[in-house]
Amino acid sequence: MNLEELNKEQKEAVLKTEGPLLILAGAGSGKTKVLTTKIAYLIEECGIDPYNILAITFTNKAAKEMQNRVYNMVGEKAKKAQISTFHSFGVSILRSNYRYLGYSSNIVILDSDDSLTVVKRTLRELGFDNKVYNANKIRNIISDSKNNDVSPEEFAKKAYDDESVVASKVYAEYERKLKINNTVDFDDLLILPIKLFKEHKEVLKMYEDRFQYVLIDEYQDTNEAQYTLTKMLTKNNRNICCVGDIDQSIYSFRGANYRNILNFEKDYKEATVIKLEQNYRSTTTILDAANDVIKNNKERKDKVLWSNNGIGEKISYYRAQNGSDEARYVTKEINKLVDQGVEYRDIAVLYRTNAMSRILEEGFINDKVPYHIVGGIGFYNRKEIKDIIAYLKLIYNEKDDISLLRVINTPKRGIGNRSIEKLIEKSNEENKSIYDVISGGKEQGFKDLIEILKDKQNKMTLTDLVEEILIMTGIRKEYEDEKTLESENRLENLEEFKSITRTFEDREGLVSLEDFLTELSLVTDVDESNDGDDNKVNLLTVHSVKGLEFDYVFIIGLEEGIFPHMNSFGIDSELEEERRLCYVAITRARKKLFISNAIFRIMFGQEQSSEPSRYIKEINPELIDIVNPEINKHNSKVQEKINAESKYNDEDVDLQAGDNVYHDVFGQGKVISVSNDIAKIAFKHPYGVKSLIKNHKSISKI
């Protein structure tokens, strides 16, 4: 096997096949190449059966790509290796072992929206006002508890205030509901395998025997459960290879803990650590800028990326008048690039929040720039698509209450709130799913309909089944009768959905409802980003661009309040995460980076102004070429004026921890801490602790 294309460290990482290995791989240092080569090396040179290899990637797309690359190196047998995300891996374990865990075969996976719906419903059923108790927050509490192995009972014991008492009750009921419905949430996909392994050592033994070699990518973004799962599988074999980069840890909001990397050497005492610091992706200008930004983080291992790719062009910085001006700038620059022979597909525009894609879209449509939005509120979030999926889920698992409640009266069948409430009551009393307690009434008609469709399920292809649902439920007729622009659109979307099922069938051969639904729940829009088939500009969030690279990258909205996001103000750990996010964004670019922001931007329907992001100031000015210095100067005067006029007090307000204050919106509060210009203040329920600009006029000492 030819390892000549690898540098010294990369080669070392490939050759070290036995025992624990940690690869600290900087952005663009060729880690995917190392991982795939390593898998191929294990198979070809060490004679390892691919069946004994487990490789975990961050997205399904990355998994597919890795599988393909290994396929190109070793051929057909690559397919025997298990290459997937943690969540897909969890699903496969569940599907083979559901009996041990007390589930039946047709498990439906809930997405985060579904979980939230269950929480809301549970709050209501338990008689709590969901204006007082924030369902989202409670869902997060439940998720955290599950991930940290805290049971509802344990949580109830530790409950310390009104909210956590309510949360503990909702948590218990939430778990009961999921189980009765034979449904699992995203957390369960990781937690249930752990539970299984703890309770059934023989099953764990089987997986240990199978997965002699375990490789994990993006280790900095593993959460507690993923960490535990990894440790359980590799405790005895010890052939574990983790790849990660602390500077690219950007998923802490989801429970990821980059300290898993820092602790690797403690967990595996005999570990070898290899650093990959040569970057093969970007120009030194881009790398220097990235290094300038990230070196301001305190919590990190020292590392400096370098490259041989030459200095390249300076970074272009444009400070726009407002959002649409910024969009115009982006399209103008894109058109210039395209005139120079650049392909649209080699360009990406990155933003902090999905909401920012809209204004870009307008600009792109105006200037006729072809684009592709990755992720965001996409196709699968449309009502008609959610409805058809709910029908499919219900046909697959009639106990799935969430899907049932979604479609029992869609289209209208005259089953109103009263009847539904009665059904829910009955199902709670009898500890059964809603479907199982239906007997008689209009509901019976609905049940009969589902029974007929269930019967058809095995007798036709997926696409035909979808068509059958559209006809038999009356969904199609409803939209056809409506004859509005909107209903036309919905019909088109439903046709589009059928072409998705058809594509799926063509790709996989004849497929089961189970496979299709699993893919739907786990494969996200991010996995759909265009692979160069379409020559379009990619629009995506900084989070979803992780692992990708483009010749030309635009980072827009580099403003205080957006990037870094205002919710992170005053919280050091979160500001550092925002900075890592910025680092990830910068290091996506190969040839040239464009950064921009806007003085005025419409948010929440109101025009607001903001200053340039602190991260821009951290970059050595010599690396930056300011596109519009005059406007910039003028604008900074405007900016000063805005600042002077309104929101802030002229003099510094002396706020200290312990001070009582009054806020125009949140009322009375107590200062918890003050750092720099940010005061953390605890307000009364339901506001809680807020981080606010200390000198804001809305705050006064009392």
Partner DNA sequence: GGTTAGAGTATCTTC
Partner DNA sequence: TACTCTAACC
User: One of 32, 278, 353, 608 is an active-site residue; which one?
Assistant: 32
Closer by beta carbon to DNA, 433 or else 691: 691
CB 682 within 8 A of CB 670: yes
| Residue 328 parent element (H or E) | helix 323-339
CB 424 within 8 A of CB 434: yes
- DSSP annotation string for 107-155: PEEP-HHHHHHHHHHHHHHTT--TTTS-HHHHHHHHHHHHHTT--HHHH
Tokens of residue 189, six digits: 């996909």
Q: Does 222 bind DNA (CB under 7 A)?
A: no
- Burial pattern 387-405, b for ≥16 Cβ within 10 A else e, equals bbbbbbbbbbbbbbbbbbb
Q: Does 484 bind DNA (CB under 7 A)?
A: no
Closer by beta carbon to DNA, 257 or else 541: 541
Closer by beta carbon to DNA, 54 or else 465: 54
- Phi and psi at residue 413, to the nearest 5°: -125, 10
CA distance 507 to 686: 51
Closer by beta carbon to DNA, 19 or else 688: 688
Q: How far is the CB of 43 from DNA (least distance, A)?
A: 26
Q: Which of residues 556-585 bind DNA (CB under 7 A)?
A: 565-568
Interacting residue with DNA among 179, 254, 314, 502 (CB under 7 A): 254
Q: Does 226 bind DNA (CB under 7 A)?
A: no
Q: Does 526 bind DNA (CB under 7 A)?
A: yes
Give the per-residue SS3 of 352-406: CCHHHHHHHHHHHHHCCCCEEECCCCCHHHCHHHHHHHHHHHHHHCCCCHHHHHH
Q: Which of residues 93-112 bind DNA (CB under 7 A)?
A: 112
Q: How far is the CB of 268 from DNA (least distance, A)?
A: 25
Stretch that binds DNA, among 27-35, 288-296, 464-472, 522-530 (CB under 7 A): 522-530
Catalytic residue flag (residue 588): yes
Catalytic residue flag (residue 266): no
Catalytic residue flag (residue 218): yes
Q: Does 691 bind DNA (CB under 7 A)?
A: no
Q: Which of 492, 501, 495 is nearest to 460 (CA)?
A: 501
Catalytic residue flag (residue 502): no
Q: How far is the CB of 191 from DNA (least distance, A)?
A: 11
Q: Does 176 bind DNA (CB under 7 A)?
A: no
Closer by beta carbon to DNA, 112 or else 457: 112
Interacting residue with DNA among 17, 134, 639, 649 (CB under 7 A): 134
Interacting residue with DNA among 36, 82, 85, 597 (CB under 7 A): 85
Tokens of residue 589, six digits: 């670019």
The count of other CB atoms within 10 Å of the CB of residue 288 is: 22
Dihedral angle sign, alpha carbons of residues 177, 179, 183, 184: positive
CA distance 584 to 294: 10
| DSSP designation for 548 | -
Q: Does 663 bind DNA (CB under 7 A)?
A: no
Q: How far is the CB of 506 from DNA (least distance, A)?
A: 24
Q: Which of residues 419-438 bind DNA (CB under 7 A)?
A: 419
* Rg of the chain over all Cα atoms, to the nearest angstrom: 27
Closer by beta carbon to DNA, 288 or else 401: 401
Give Cβ neighbours of residue 230 (< 8 Å, ≥ 6 apart).
56, 214, 216, 222, 240, 242
CB 111 within 8 A of CB 380: no
Interacting residue with DNA among 131, 298, 507, 637 (CB under 7 A): 131
Q: Does 440 bind DNA (CB under 7 A)?
A: no
- Phi and psi at residue 670, to the nearest 5°: -125, 135
Q: How far is the CB of 278 from DNA (least distance, A)?
A: 29
Closer by beta carbon to DNA, 187 or else 468: 187
Catalytic residue flag (residue 113): no
Tokens of residue 679, six digits: 């005061």
**What is the side-by-side strand order in the sheet with 667-675?**
689-693, 678-683, 667-675, 660-663, 699-701
User: One of 248, 283, 410, 518 is an active-site residue; which one?
Assistant: 248
Stretch that binds DNA, among 3-11, 145-153, 317-325, 521-529 (CB under 7 A): 521-529
Q: How far is the CB of 543 from DNA (least distance, A)?
A: 4
Q: How far is the CB of 658 from DNA (least distance, A)?
A: 26
CB 316 within 8 A of CB 286: no
Catalytic residue flag (residue 32): yes
* Binding residues vs DNA (CB under 7 A): 58-59, 85-87, 112, 120, 124, 130-131, 134, 136, 186, 250-251, 253-254, 352-355, 375-376, 409, 412-419, 522, 524-527, 541, 543-544, 565-568, 602-605
Catalytic residues: 31-32, 217-218, 248, 588
